[in-house]
A and B are shown apart, each in its own frame.
Chain A
């Protein structure tokens, strides 16, 4: 059984990652709801109200280009990664890897310290307070 996580922590953690994953999926043209579905299948339960402002901001920044398809039963706006978006994605990926490596390293170190006998650690000894 996993412990309950503070929803704010999870929301903050996911906010940046969703942007990176969305850019990754947009290497091929996709419409908004298609992306929601793909993200959901990958484990990111994201609603349109969260994703739409992100797509809009990326489009404004020139990271995404878009095109309307009005040929089908419903009009669909397809988004696709632009050249600038590819550079942006590479930068975000590098930042993500740095953060992930640093987190892993910090957690590994603290776990090693936790395995040491109590007298070797610098923290207070249980019961001393």
Chain B
């Protein structure tokens, strides 16, 4: 059985197949009207040609269906080079950050995922499982960045990605303010932690942070000291130097490790049950632990992004 080909229907099918569904009916009707008009005109002006030839000429005047579809859809269907480059940069930052967090979780010996399906420790063996886990992280991040680009549009995505490369305003005044803030934090962490994270019981303040958490104070001191080094380098007039960026990156990495250690402690909060009652103490324990965990994970994510930015900056400064 032979099929009679209908070039007009075939052309319209090819055209509408490439258009967004909401445009299909309208465009098909409009383009078909144009074809019919041209066919009638051709046959009127050239009595020697038949209808298939007139239709061929009408379709030729419209150009290839794919090209017409490109012209009709206002957004270009091809991805410009600049967008591709921005996408690759954004993906590099997200992937590096994600992988770093996974590595830190692995080193910290975490048994379960921090964010199920999205962030967890890598397997330690065999090599194929490690490779597949890294590839999984890569594909998840590709999907996330792609969704962000689609949701935000090229313009806003470009601006967001370009912020990754914005130079930090490291001024002397900012450095002094930073040092003062770090000193205050150092005093609180080393001398008043038990008073700040405490509940009033009668006339006494009862600290509620678990001993395991209090043991992390030396790590916090290292983080604060590393950030202080960065500020000192700025004060010495080396704010735009690769060494200052490296110090900042190192401080961020230390911060990420400390926060992951905090999040992976067996016990974070121990509410005194004597006056609160066991049930109320358990509820408060649970609630506070969740809040602190959330803060730790978010803080780790922010510091990871900053770490990656600083590594990129350090690399750029060294190349310059």
Residues of A within 8 A of B (CB): 31-33, 37, 47-50, 52-53, 56-57, 60, 73-77
Contacts and interface: CB of A to CB of B under 8 A. Distances in A.
A56 B15 CA distance: 15
Contacts of A50: 63
Nearest to A32: B34
Contact of B37 (A32, A49, A56): A32
B118 interface: no
Q: Rank and list the top 5 A-B pairs by shortest CB-CB distance, nearest first.
A: A49-B63, A53-B71, A33-B37, A49-B62, A47-B61
Contacts of A56: 27, 30, 72
B72 A33 contact: no
A108 B29 CA distance: 49
Overall SS of chain B's interface: helix
B36 A53 contact: no
Contact of B29 (A49, A57, A75): A75
A74 B37 contact: yes
10 contacts: A31-B33, A32-B33, A33-B34, A47-B63, A49-B71, A50-B63, A52-B31, A52-B62, A74-B37, A74-B40
A47 B63 CA distance: 8
Interface string B83-119: 0000000000000000000000000000000000000
> What band does the interface of chain B fall in when counting residues whose beta carbon is under 8 Å from A?
20 to 34
Nearest to B39: A74
A76 B33 contact: yes
A61 to B, nearest CB: 10
Nearest to B60: A47
Nearest to B32: A75
Given A32-B30, A47-B62, 12 more contacts: A33-B34, A37-B41, A47-B61, A48-B61, A52-B62, A52-B68, A52-B71, A74-B36, A74-B37, A74-B40, A75-B36, A77-B30
A25 B92 CA distance: 52
B238 interface: no
B36 to A, nearest CB: 5
Contact of B30 (A49, A52, A73): A52
A49 B68 CA distance: 6
A32 to B, nearest CB: 5
Nearest to B62: A49
B68 A53 contact: yes
Contacts of B62: 47-49, 52
Contacts of B67: 49
Contacts of A31: 33, 37
A31 B38 CA distance: 12
B38 A48 contact: yes
